[in-house]
Chains A and B, each alone.
Chain A
Amino acid sequence: GEQVEQRPPHLSVREGDSAFITCTYTDPNSYYFFWYKQEPGASLQLLMKVFSSTEINEGQGFTVLLNKKDKRLSLNLTAAHPGDSAAYFCAVSDRGSALGRLHFGAGTQLIVIP
């Protein structure tokens, strides 16, 4: 089955610096990719959903990169601020997955130092 590996497990950056998180996956049929943000004590909030057909996706203060050849999904938080401090999870699903099952990475705990 699908295996999703997320690195690093912990990341500290200074305010204004970039924070880079990467996931690798194993199933070449993977088609949908997600990044979730979880603030302390809170639930998971969907940051971005990307499709296999799009390699670069930009959101509010972040960029998601998809490299299908290397089976790698990345999240780059540009100019991080303390409000970005949270846990971040990638998730992967394939187009044929029954019921849209997601496979999650283990998460990255990000701390942004003021």
Chain B
Amino acid sequence: EAAVTQSPRNKVAVTGGKVTLSCNQTNNHNNMYWYRQDTGHGLRLIHYSYGAGSTEKGDIPDGYKASRPSQENFSLILELATPSQTSVYFCASGDNYEQYFGPGTRLTVL
């Protein structure tokens, strides 16, 4: 049974619209992460969290917000989506320096 799930799996949004990507984990990990994956860049860290109620900026936080309402859930929010945010987004949970990834969300901003 998948321990890290993401929804939606695919999303098409319009420029200027609000997008929320959701992540749920059943690993009981304290740490959760949001990455985006683009060709030639590998995975880049957007936001992360060390527990419910906490969020921290990663390497490329501009244009994104995050929310960690509970141990299990971590959301990524694009308040005003732009075409440059078209990408594949991965959520991960982890402890002891190991991270386990969700299936990814493909976001297209038109």
Residues of A within 8 A of B (CB): 1, 4, 6, 9, 32, 34, 42-44, 46, 49, 89, 91, 93, 97-102, 104-107
Contacts and interface: CB of A to CB of B under 8 A. Distances in A.
DSSP majority for the A interface? mixed
B42 A106 contact: yes
Main secondary structure of the interface of B (DSSP, over half): strand
Contact of A99 (B31, B42, B98): B31
B42 A105 contact: yes
B74 interface: no
Contacts of B34: none
A102 B58 CA distance: 11
Given A9-B40, A89-B42, A99 B48 contact: yes
Give chain B's interface residue range (CB within 8 Å of chain A). Answer: 20 to 34
Contacts of B100: 46
B61 interface: no
A100 B31 contact: yes
A93 B97 contact: yes
A53 to B, nearest CB: 14
Contacts of B31: 99-100
A43 B90 contact: yes
